[in-house]
Amino acid sequence: MHCIKHLIHINANPETIYNALSTIDGLSSWWTSLTSGESRINKIIEFRFDEPYFMRMKVLELDENRKILWECIEGEKDWMGTLISFDIEGNGNNSILRFKHDKWPTHGDFFSHCNLSWAKYLISLRLYIESGKGAPFRLE
């Protein structure tokens, strides 16, 4: 099993970061504008990109202002059953976000592509939080 790990510093308090990660509005603002569903325990959030790409995540943990954990239950073959987590460590307005996408069955081109892509969207998350305007995926 392989794991994508990123760490990013964000000039914001944990509550602001948690809101961007735990609401449909927040997620739409930095990952994909085509986000729908419910961000509640055991409910499903759907993330769409260019047809036919999408993934459905089951919300496993929502620890307020601290941690979010999803399981991918539908989408790309290599993503099925993988776990995606966001851990927030706050110190006033200087927070650290630790991201993990764990339990990858492969470690090849698709893994490498997704590794870069997660970094790109985490930078978009920071931009959204710090400036109010992210760079989520949008249909042309």
Note whether 94 binds its own copies by CB under 8 A: no
- The reply to whether 85 sits near its own copies by the rule CB under 8 A is no
Closest separation in Å from C-beta 135 to its own copies: 11
Interaction between residue 109 and its own copies (CB under 8 A): yes
> Residue 62 or 119: which CB sits closer to its own copies?
119
By CB under 8 A, residue 98 contacts its own copies = yes
Pick from 122, 124, 128, 137: which binds its own copies (CB under 8 A)?
Answer: 122
Residue 40 touching its own copies (CB under 8 A): no
Q: Does 112 bind its own copies (CB under 8 A)?
A: yes
Instruction: Tell me which residue has tokens 């510093």.
Output: 9
Name which of 88, 75, 73 is nearest 26 in CA terms: 88
The CB-of-15 to its own copies minimum distance in angstroms stands at 22
Please report, for residues 23, 45, 105, 108, 130, the alpha-carbon distance to residue 27 in angstroms, rounded to integers and kept in the order given.
6, 10, 26, 27, 15
What is the distance between the alpha carbons of residues 62 and 25, in angstroms, rounded to a whole number?
Answer: 16
Q: Where are the alpha helices (DSSP H) in the chain?
A: 14-22, 24-28, 109-131
| Closest-CA residue to 90 (of 115, 71, 63) | 63
Q: Is 11 in the site for its own copies (CB under 8 A)?
A: no
Q: Which residues of 23-34 are buried (b: 16+ CB within 10 A; e: fewer)?
A: eeebbbbbbbeb
Tell me: does residue 58 bind its own copies (CB under 8 A).
no
| Chain residues that interact with its own copies, rule: CB under 8 A | 4-8, 98-99, 107, 109, 111-113, 115-116, 118-120, 122-123
